Chains A and B, each alone.
Chain A
């Protein structure tokens, strides 16, 4: 088998993660060394080879899992057991300290009709719209999505992410809550939606 460093770099070469110089050197090595060439072709083939012979259970799998989840005891919002009273107290002290040092002094300086608070990053309530995260059903048409967003008074402010999530902006928390109800009532268009 070829030199161990070259061997390990073959995968990076395939994904374009080597510098130009390093890529040129390795390509030259592949051309002149039949063993390295064979290994490079093997790595390329492995990159494209899905070794899973059986299909993902998909909806059937989810139905089965959903049933199992339903038979579990309902979850409760509780402190995680590993959080002791002392840890909770420490969190409280840190929060009070942060309030006194970062927020309270700025509140004192505010007056009149300027925003009622300014965070340490300078963001105000006025320019921080209420947001929610949403994923659409892949089969939903663009028109159906547009119409639903209009009905829910929602605007896409970010996305899509790697997994197809969008961030929605609303004028206020009340608008967002009403919008979430409207969006949640359309399972044919919305796969998942919740406040951020």
Chain B
């Protein structure tokens, strides 16, 4: 039975107030949900708070789950909204800066040399916009389809593709420039 059926079963139990099902749901989706939240919020306390708020919202709203998306997608979308709310509260007047992709193609040899350096890669990932970081995390590390990412991020599939394309371009530039330093 696929993962989605298990989650739907658990959510159905949560909807009627089954706390053990809620614990199983938390154990199942919690670790990946927490990773996803950290792509948006770097502060560990804030990330833990948003995880808590998201799961509490799941507990409250399980009965109203319409089944129009997969359970996992629905939960991740709740987390995304809560994380974005936090970001807006933290910087109410500041929009994210426009991305500036350096002119010219990145040096492939230099990028190849730096890509296996985890520290350099982390540094370059940290320089991405929050939406780009989330998109590459969901698409690559979690292997989630673009259509589902679009639903989680409340944007079009084209926007997801564009974010991933630009994120890769920026990462290659960053890695080739000075090995991510």
Interface string of A36-54 (1 = CB under 8 A from B): 0111011101111111111
A194 within 8 A of B: yes
A49 touches B141 (CB 8 A): yes
Measured between alpha carbons, how far is A135 from B30 in the docked complex, in Å?
17
B23 touches A133 (CB 8 A): no
> Which of B73-81, B92-100, B106-114 forms part of the interface with chain A?
B106-114
Residue total for A at the interface (Cβ-Cβ under 8 A): 52
A158 within 8 A of B: yes
Range class of the B interface residue count: 35 or more
A98 within 8 A of B: no
A45-76 residues at the B interface, CB under 8 angstroms: 45-54, 56-58, 61-62, 64-66, 68-69, 72, 74-75
B64 touches A80 (CB 8 A): yes
B3 touches A162 (CB 8 A): yes
CB within 8 A of B111: which of A38, A50, A82, A158?
A38
B83 within 8 A of A: no
Measured between alpha carbons, how far is A161 from B56 in the docked complex, in Å?
26
Q: Which residues of A contact B149 (CB under 8 A)?
A: none
A42 touches B6 (CB 8 A): no
B50-95 residues at the A interface, CB under 8 angstroms: 51-52, 55-56, 59-60, 63-64
Measured between alpha carbons, how far is A11 from B139 in the docked complex, in Å?
9
CB within 8 A of A74: which of B17, B18, B55?
B17
Known: A75-B16, A194-B21. A69 touches B35 (CB 8 A): no
Task: Give the residue name and chain of the A residue nearest to B66 (CB).
Answer: A82
B44 within 8 A of A: yes
A161 touches B2 (CB 8 A): yes
B48 within 8 A of A: yes
B3 touches A161 (CB 8 A): yes
Measured between alpha carbons, how far is A53 from B37 in the docked complex, in Å?
11
B9-64 residues at the A interface, CB under 8 angstroms: 9, 13, 15-24, 26-28, 30-31, 34-35, 38-39, 44, 47-48, 51-52, 55-56, 59-60, 63-64
CB within 8 A of B19: which of A56, A69, A163?
A69
Measured between alpha carbons, how far is A34 from B172 in the docked complex, in Å?
12
Q: List 22 A-B contacts (CB under 8 A).
A: A1-B168, A7-B168, A11-B139, A15-B143, A34-B112, A35-B105, A42-B115, A42-B175, A46-B141, A51-B39, A51-B133, A52-B38, A56-B30, A56-B34, A58-B30, A61-B26, A65-B26, A69-B59, A80-B64, A163-B6, A165-B6, A165-B9
Binding site for A on B (CB under 8 A): 1-3, 5-7, 9, 13, 15-24, 26-28, 30-31, 34-35, 38-39, 44, 47-48, 51-52, 55-56, 59-60, 63-64, 105-106, 108-109, 111-112, 115-116, 118, 121-122, 125, 133, 136-137, 139-141, 143, 161, 165, 168-169, 171-172, 175-176
Binding site for B on A (CB under 8 A): 1, 4, 7-8, 11, 15, 34-35, 37-39, 41-43, 45-54, 56-58, 61-62, 64-66, 68-69, 72, 74-75, 77, 80, 82, 133, 135, 158-159, 161-163, 165, 191-192, 194, 196
